Amino acid sequence: MVGPLLTTKLHAPRRRRGLVARARLLEQLSRGDEAVLTLVSAPAGFGKTTLLTEWLAAAGRPSTAWLALDQRDDDPVLFLTYLLSALQRAAQEVGGKALTRLQEPHASIDEVLAILVNELDALEDDIVLVLDDYHVVSARDVHEAMTFLLEHSPSRMHLVIATRADPALPLSRLRARGELVEVRADDLRFTADEAAAYLNEAMGLALTAEQVVALEARTEGWIAALQLAALSLKGRDDVAGFIAGFAGDDRYIVDYLIQEVLQRQPEHVRRFLLQTSVLERLSGSLCDAVTGGDGGKATLQALDGENLFLVRLDDRRHWYRYHHLFADVLQAHLRDEWPDQIADLHRRASAWFERNGERSEAIRHALAAADHARAADLVELAIPELGQGRQEATLRRWMEALPEELFEARPVLSAGYVGALMSTGDVEGVEARLRDAERWLDRTAPSADMIVADDEAWGRLPAQIAMYRAGHALVHGDVAGSMGHARRALELAGPDDHLGRGGPAAILGLAYWTTGDLDAAHRWYAEGMASLDEGGYRSDVIGGAITLADIRIAQGRLREAMRTYQQGLQRAQQCDPPLRGAADMHVGMSQLLLERNDLEAARHHLRRSQELGDHGGLPKNPYRRRLAMARLHQLDGDIEGALELLDEAERWYNSDFSPDVQPIPAVRARMWIAHGRLESALHWAREHGLSADDDLDYVGEYEHITLARALLAQHAASRDLDPVDQATGLLERLLHAAQDGGRTGSVLEILVLQALACQALADVPAAEAALRRALTLAEPEGYVRIFVDEGLPMASLLRAAATREIASGYVRRLLAAIDATQHDGPIHQDALVEPLSKRELDVLRLLGTELDGPEIARELFVSLNTVRTHTRNIYAKLGVNNRRAAVRRAADLNLLSPAPQR
């Protein structure tokens, strides 16, 4: 965070004396204790905040977390930091773990939210979370985070939102479920009785009934207006005349009344009010800095005493703010009367905040002063901190507020912009900013035209830019260029610059992977991860295990791949809850276990991954998990389900900088081939312009092996010799390429296919020779499915090998496995990784009704906790995270149709 956490934002404002009792509204609010969300939605000045503070001050209320939002919180990381801090103040046991995770470099928002939901779930007592001024939030990320919280809302948490505009949350859904309590403008308006109570009792004005009615009618019960009217009336002799004049006027009420109030202030107070209206928070010292006076503190206390415009932000009467409505009106007066002063006022505020260590406020005021040079300096100095805290949204907003031409002379700022763009996955604009920065690097002598605020960052700039260049080139498919830049970045980075060394080394590893040089790829990538590990980037290191294991698998080193996943899992589990990436490790282990034909264990790991959810996974996990599930479905005989999962996997595909060495369309083509849909597979090959004469490269290897499979299948179907000839030639070339690259995993598969091709051509010795080589490579690593998946043709080859006593124990195991596949029918509820128990099906059926949790428990004669456990299991098995999705998925899978009589 740039600047300290403002604890004033976490204080519910002090309750004012002399309020009107609003029993009807308090009763309405108390219904919120049963609802998920209470929405207090009305324009400014309708007493939303006051009502809430009064409600919360009542005795016996559950503990409350209060968060007053402002424009800066339109950044998901900042928003969550405040939200979690607010919760933690209210209940010590909540928010701590989530906050720790949020501070972990490169942790994800989803993950933090999931941890928060768990923490809330464990709460013993109710907690109320109030978000005041929610209308300032426009970032979709923030709305999505809140929607997630609402949809997973544990019963202990009640959310209260006060806002001037209805928020972008699923309100109609909540309303339909009766989970929304609303208090709107018409509820909040003062009734005639309340107006009378306020004016006469609270403000002590002694007005007649007619006068009260006149004021109530003119203001339409708008509380801010009545309040101003009361202030104007205080100490006035001609009350009747004022009310008549006000009631007969159709000017904007606040204009009229503030004019009245301002006119009655001494000139120095009037000046103070207008000048300090540019501030979002007021303290004596800040006001003095902005006005150039010295009585700030006394003036604030006097205004507070007169109940004039101010809201107290803390108990010590140190920080205040103006009521928003009045601040706007005061600013309008300021712009009208002293337009030339405004920039200076902001500039002085910026300087005060900089001196007091609040850089982000200093930047805001510098931008408001249009002092772009000052803002640019401050932003540049804030870059390292914002980058580490992943506040790219804030950084980008500031960068975008600065004029384009300002970047030309500021290389460090330009490079910071590149970093913000690339980490948000935005490559547009990167090239221009890189060029801006690079122009200055080429100079031999320092130039007077160049502007650098952060000298330390200037020293790191050449290495940093080379790293960005390397990443940028890799994304654009320029592998050689990427390698060159990455090497240069490594040369330039200091020995202790962990990110500066780890980043380019990892990029170099990925570039080598793309070329198919797997030894170099593994070496560089592992070195990169070691540097990142030293720098404390744990999440990135765990994610790196996926790449390292992928490379090992391509090398045919399944045991090492397994060890890599196990270590990754261990690392992830050293934290509680496990770090993001644990889910990915389970998926990887599941795939390896599946190859070993240990389907039970494979299912188990996939289930663990599913339980951790996609939010417990890295960017690749959603697609990798679906890919792994598709394989299991295929083995269970559910081809349609498997193909659907592949479609889903394709939608979730995320390369995350890795080469796409196993494209999903090719995986689908293999599935088609294995299940007799040869035409579709051949169509895929034509569409991708694949032919047996293509030049070969590693990135296309999987597709070319798939083509060879299609050709062999074509021969099997037609007995035509041409396809098998083509396949033989292609396989021979693929074999050489794979051998040269040390890709034993590919070699193995190619040998299996060669054996089958020779068998089809009745060349028994050649078939046997290929098979023998494959068996020798496969046995030590425990491969099974690579043979078993070929079914009966492979069985006859293996039987022949067995008679010649080649690797006989291993061959017998493979034959037994093939035998077993021939008798297995599809399992029940075959679309599920793990079938639902009978009890779970009962609960699922009731989830599809209107019954709530306690009612379901009564219906089934079990405790609510038991229902919760069943529900959790059902969600995990169905791969969903809420009731609606569970019912929908159940309907899709036809799980709720009447059970067959047995």
For residues 135 and 683, which CB has a smaller minimum distance to other proteins in the complex? Answer: 135
For residues 329 and 549, which CB has a smaller minimum distance to other proteins in the complex? Answer: 329
CB of 272 to other proteins, least distance (A): 19
CB of 142 to other proteins, least distance (A): 17
The size of the chain, in residues, is 902
C-alpha 313/C-alpha 576 separation (Å) is 36
Tokens of 776: 């020798």
Tell me the three state secondary structure of residue 132. strand
CB of 336 to other proteins, least distance (A): 4
What are residue 158's phi and psi, to 5 degrees? -120, 125
C-alpha 368/C-alpha 342 separation (Å) is 9
C-alpha 543/C-alpha 772 separation (Å) is 37
Is the four-CA dihedral 660, 661, 665, 668 of positive or negative sign? negative
CB of 169 to other proteins, least distance (A): 18
For residue 180, give the H/E element and its range. strand 180-184
CB of 164 to other proteins, least distance (A): 6
For residues 231 and 546, which CB has a smaller minimum distance to other proteins in the complex? Answer: 231
For residues 332 and 769, which CB has a smaller minimum distance to other proteins in the complex? Answer: 332
For residues 247 and 769, which CB has a smaller minimum distance to other proteins in the complex? Answer: 247
| Amino acid making up residue 449 | D
What are residue 675's phi and psi, to 5 degrees? -120, 30
CB of 332 to other proteins, least distance (A): 4
For residues 325 and 795, which CB has a smaller minimum distance to other proteins in the complex? Answer: 325
Tokens of 537: 């980037």
The site for other proteins (CB under 8 A) is made up of 43-46, 135, 164-165, 222, 224, 250-255, 324-325, 328-329, 331-333, 335-336, 339
Instruction: Please write down the long-range contacts of 491-494, taking CB distance under 8 Å and 24 or more positions apart.
Output: 492/462, 492/463, 492/466, 493/460, 493/463, 493/467, 494/460, 494/463
Yes or no: say if 77 and 391 are a contact pair by the CB < 8 Å rule: yes
CB of 214 to other proteins, least distance (A): 17
R_g (Cα) of the chain, nearest Å? 34
For residues 304 and 328, which CB has a smaller minimum distance to other proteins in the complex? Answer: 328
For residues 328 and 834, which CB has a smaller minimum distance to other proteins in the complex? Answer: 328
Yes or no: say if 890 and 878 are a contact pair by the CB < 8 Å rule: yes
For residues 252 and 446, which CB has a smaller minimum distance to other proteins in the complex? Answer: 252
CB of 223 to other proteins, least distance (A): 10
Tokens of 631: 């394989």
Question: What does the DSSP 8-state code read for residue 282?
Answer: B
Yes or no: say if 818 and 798 are a contact pair by the CB < 8 Å rule: yes
| Amino acid making up residue 756 | L
Strands (E), 295-342: 310-312, 320-322
For residues 256 and 417, which CB has a smaller minimum distance to other proteins in the complex? Answer: 256
For residues 328 and 497, which CB has a smaller minimum distance to other proteins in the complex? Answer: 328
Yes or no: say if 85 and 95 are a contact pair by the CB < 8 Å rule: yes
For residues 339 and 825, which CB has a smaller minimum distance to other proteins in the complex? Answer: 339
Yes or no: say if 313 and 8 are a contact pair by the CB < 8 Å rule: yes
For residue 127, give the H/E element and its range. strand 127-132
| Amino acid making up residue 93 | E
CB of 185 to other proteins, least distance (A): 9
C-alpha 240/C-alpha 215 separation (Å) is 11
| Amino acid making up residue 358 | E
For residue 184, list its beta bridge partners: 41
For residues 251 and 435, which CB has a smaller minimum distance to other proteins in the complex? Answer: 251
Burial of 863 (0-12, 13-18, 19+ CB in 10 A): exposed
